[in-house]
Structure 1
Amino acid sequence: MGRPIDARGWIFEVRDQSTTVERWLPIENLTKWTHNASENEETAETTNFDSKGWFEQDVMQRGGQIEVEGQYALDTKTGRQVEGQAYVDQFWGQRLGSDSRNEIRYRHDSQNMWVIWDATVTPDKQEGEVNDKTGWNATFTQCGRPRYEPVFTICKERNAA
């Protein structure tokens, strides 16, 4: 029997397109996420007399969506919004047309492969009440087929034997 994995072990990163060097920015301070693998799915009914009363269909379009919720966070060294959130709010979330596409990748910390989407982002509400921390939300909508890349460990400490 398998063991369940912790929801807090999921990692979400956005590609920084403001530089020519490949750079991924973590989306930090998340408290909740939702992945809907059938968002924007479209089907065509194929039921006919030969179906003998049983429904039939073909999937004509696949899609997906990830919603993340968290706390608006400031970098303790710079006093500015943490990079991943700031990138979504101030750079990616302000782009239109074909420029509105970027990449997001995600995986669980127990997995050795990233799932990478070409996506659009909708920055969502920021809110809070008297005794709350300020909330931060964004929705990523998959565009096209996902791809997969292995996780590369940059450096591992060796045990001195």
Structure 2
Amino acid sequence: MPTVKINARDLVIQVAEADGKTWSQIGGLNSAVPNAGDNEEVVDTTTFDSGGYYEQEVVQRGATLGLEGYLLQDPSTTAQDPGQARVEFLATQVGPASLGKVRFRHTLDKAWRVWTATFSMGEQGGGNNDKAAWKATIARSGQPTTEPVAATQ
């Protein structure tokens, strides 16, 4: 079968709840941008033997996931979208409590990419005729893992 272009909107992103077993999808998104080069560090390995050409090695890998969308809230209960609420809670924590789990995949993928990560909130709100914006950045902490997609996911 030939390869096809995949839709960015088909990225499924979930955050682990406090029990570590329940996953909540982060709703209201209209942009999700994984950046596999964020927080990467290199060391200059250039020597006289390099003949005037710069040389380097990667000494640290990093990655982030930038999220943007609309703030979602139930008008009758005032409850926020569960995924958004969990991200916002984690973004208020410090030390070991600031670490949470996130997993994401495209609908065609057979495995989730799973990160232990930290969470930071971005600008929210908007102008006179805007819906309220919701932004967050998730930064991977440690080595990523994968897990298979269950038949019900």
In the other structure, the counterpart of 2:135 is 137
- Cα deviations across residues 91-149 of structure 1 (Å, max 9, x unaligned)? 21221111100111110011111001110000122111121111001100110110011
Give the alignment's TM-score, normalised by structure 1: 0.88
Question: Which letter does structure 2 place at the counterpart of 1:15?
Answer: A
Aligned counterparts of 1:154 and 1:65: Cα–Cα separation in 2 = 27
In the other structure, the counterpart of 1:104 is 102
CA drift of 1:78 comes to 4.1
Aligned counterparts of 2:75 and 2:114: Cα–Cα separation in 1 = 29
In the other structure, the counterpart of 1:14 is 15
Identity %: 37
Aligned counterparts of 1:85 and 1:139: Cα–Cα separation in 2 = 12
CA drift of 1:154 comes to 2.8
Aligned counterparts of 1:74 and 1:31: Cα–Cα separation in 2 = 16
Aligned counterparts of 1:114 and 1:145: Cα–Cα separation in 2 = 14
Aligned counterparts of 1:88 and 1:74: Cα–Cα separation in 2 = 14
Aligned counterparts of 1:4 and 1:55: Cα–Cα separation in 2 = 36
Alignment root-mean-square deviation, CA = 1.7
Aligned counterparts of 1:38 and 1:154: Cα–Cα separation in 2 = 32
* Partner secondary structure for residue 97 of structure 2: helix
* Partner secondary structure for residue 8 of structure 1: helix
Mean CA deviation greater in 75-84 or 143-152: 75-84
Give the alignment's TM-score, normalised by structure 2: 0.92
Aligned counterparts of 1:70 and 1:57: Cα–Cα separation in 2 = 38
Size of the aligned set, in residue pairs, is 152
* Partner secondary structure for residue 94 of structure 1: coil
Residues 1:128 and 2:126 aligned together: yes
Q: Which has the larger Rg?
A: 1
In the other structure, the counterpart of 1:158 is none
Aligned ranges 1:1-161 → 2 under 5 Å: 2-17=3-18, 19=19, 22-75=21-74, 78-89=77-88, 91-154=89-152
